[in-house]
Structure 1
Amino acid sequence: MEPASLENLHVLYQSTHFIVVNKHWDIRIDSKMWYEKQTVQSQLRHRFPELADPGTYYGFRFCHQLDFSTSGALCVALNKAAAGRAYRCFKDRLVTKAYLALLRGSVEKLKTTLDFAIGKNTSQGKTHMMCIEGTEGCENPKPCQTELTVLEYGLYDGDPVTKVLLQPLTGRTHQLRVHCSAIGHPIVGDFTYSLRTDGAPYRMMLHAYLLRIPLEDEPICVTAPDPFLPSVDPKWVSQCLLQPLEGALDGLLGCGLAPGSQGLESQSTGEEEETNSKVSMETEEQRAQCQQWLCEWALH
């Protein structure tokens, strides 16, 4: 992806009430620091000065948060009423979010639920971090869950990695980063949760791929283009496709999307269901092939 700038704001969806942008991996959503000139907020002001709300501190109401080093779909409300409707969807846990990530090593379980309570780390020198329950200095841990689905095995800059789809079922600070680190597979480029060992990649490989907000009057469903492709980053080399991304999303979204949704196909048809069943059969064969490949790789 090109470097962050005021001009390269990538809009995925726009209406009278909402804008969804593809947040750059090297930019904050907003900042009170005078020296941080480039933020999503400043990009929005530059691109849409007429839409800024003078009644807010930042000019725009962000419906949710993404970490500084996380890219992907970010929803912005353009008025107070729209923000309230979106907030209720988040509060009632009706929103579906799915992230793509590259994890260090080969994740063995192809589909698993990561269930670690997360609290704030009060240990000296780690107060900017979160940690799992049972860790020394872990304060006020709260239950949280993440669904992990393995998509591909491959290499990043010559080292074994796994491409996964992550669905947070709760919304704790740094949840995906902490959960992946807790199972021994930190996100590639996550300097903080690799205990300062993974600093070589140009970014942290975590991307908010899917965002679905089931608003009654304006259902929103967008996807932000997958950045973890060899054509985008040649250091990533896929060696074994286990589950196509589209198939994993079908399972995540269940019976399909409401008409009018953006970024994906709408309602499922009988023909599509037949195709999906064929994909499932093929996935079983791919699974066996990948397991064999992993065994052979371990011998080298």
Structure 2
Amino acid sequence: MQVNNLQTIHEDPHFLVLEKPEGLLAVPGRGPDKQDCLSTRAQARWPDALVVHRLDMATSGLVVMARGIEAQRTLSLAFEERRVHKRYTAVVAGELVNTQPDNGWNTINLPLMADWSNRPMQKVDHEQGKPSITRWRIAPGHTVPGTTRLELEPVTGRTHQLRVHLQALGHPMVGDALYAAPDQHAMANRLLLHAHWLSLPHPLDGQTIEFHSPCPF
């Protein structure tokens, strides 16, 4: 269902799952030119819709919004307690090899913090960074030579976490204006990062429910 140019994946009296397109802010930014965003569009249709989490502007895919303050508290707690699980599809520069048996999950454990002299960028910092964990494995699907398609699962939820962690491995995401080299940025007309799967406890009864979004690239 399309509402105000948004695709609605799920709607009930307690929460929404929306598909955020690439290039749209998740929440309003600073300045009058940055007020059009996913949350504003959603609230035009559902006045009780409240923000629970975000995606980067350059990232597409599944976003949850609560309906009402009680659902927001319940869902926010589920995020804090890591009972919400998200997976992303990304295409990275270079050929990344999975040495785990049967394409098992690999773990990136690198602490992250803001790169204050290069805002809004983030960086790995082993002394002052906050604990940050990402899991990855090879994803099915076509990629051009010299790139690798990955499935990513953030265990923590730091700003730009997936993008910085893959850059730190030496495999920045294709199309990334912040963290990729100019030639890697130019390989695509958008950041190749999409939130394709989401699992969460329903805020009313706690039953686990899953959502899927086809990868657009």
Aligned-pair Cα RMSD in Å: 2.1
Does the alignment pair 1:11 with 2:8? yes
Q: Which residue does 2:169 correspond to in 1?
A: 183
Deviating 4+ runs (over 4 angstroms)? none
Task: Name the structure, 1 or 2, with higher relative contact order (CA <8 Å, separation 6+).
Answer: 2
Q: In structure 2, do the counterparts of structure 1 residues 154 and 104 end up closer, same or farther at CA, with 3 Å as the change threshold?
A: farther
Give deviations 1:160-208, integer Å, cap 9, x for gaps. Answer: 2111110011111111000100001111111101155533221101011
Relative to the length of structure 1, the TM-score reads 0.64
Residue 37 (structure 1) shift: 5.1
**What residue number does 2:198 align with?**
211
Paired residue secondary structure (2:150): strand
AA of the residue aligned to 2:200: I
Name the CA distance, whole Å, in 2 between partners of 1:6 and 1:188.
30
146-155 or 202-211: which moved more?
A: 146-155
1:178 counterpart SS class: helix
Please point out which of 24, 28, 33 is paired with 1:27: 24
Which residue does 1:131 correspond to in 2? 123
Contact 2:89 2:139 (8 Å CA) reproduced: no
Give the alignment partner of residue 42 of structure 2, picking from 41, 44, 51.
Answer: 44
Q: Matched residue of 1:88: which SS?
A: helix
Change beyond 3 A, Cα 1:21–1:98: same
Q: Alignment partner for residue 145 of structure 1, among 105, 112, 133?
A: 133
The superposition leaves residues 49-68 of structure 1 with CA deviations (integer Å, 9 ceiling, x where unpaired) of xx214xxxxxx311111101
Q: Which has the higher helix share?
A: 1
Q: Which runs of 5 or more residues in structure 1 are unaligned?
A: 54-59, 229-300
Q: Distance in 2 between matches of 1:184 and 1:152?
A: 21
1:94 alignment partner in structure 2: 83
| Equivalent position SS for 1:184 | coil
Instruction: State the number of aligned residues.
Output: 207
* Residues 207-226 of structure 1 deviation map (CA, whole Å, 9 limit, x = unaligned): 11111112361533211122
3-state SS of paired residue (1:198) = helix
TM-score where L is the length of structure 2: 0.87
Secondary structure, aligned partner of 2:146: strand
Alignment of 1:167 onto 2:153: yes
Corresponding residue SS for 2:216: coil
SS at match of 1:98: strand
Q: Which runs of 5+ in 2 are unaligned?
A: none
Structure 1 position 6, deviation (Å): 7.4
CA distance in 1, matches of 2:131, 2:32: 37
Give CA-to-partner distance per residue, 1:45-103, whole Å, 9 cap, x none. 44x1xx214xxxxxx31111110111111001110010011011111111111111111
Equivalent-residue separation in structure 1 for 2:141 and 2:195 (angstroms):
20
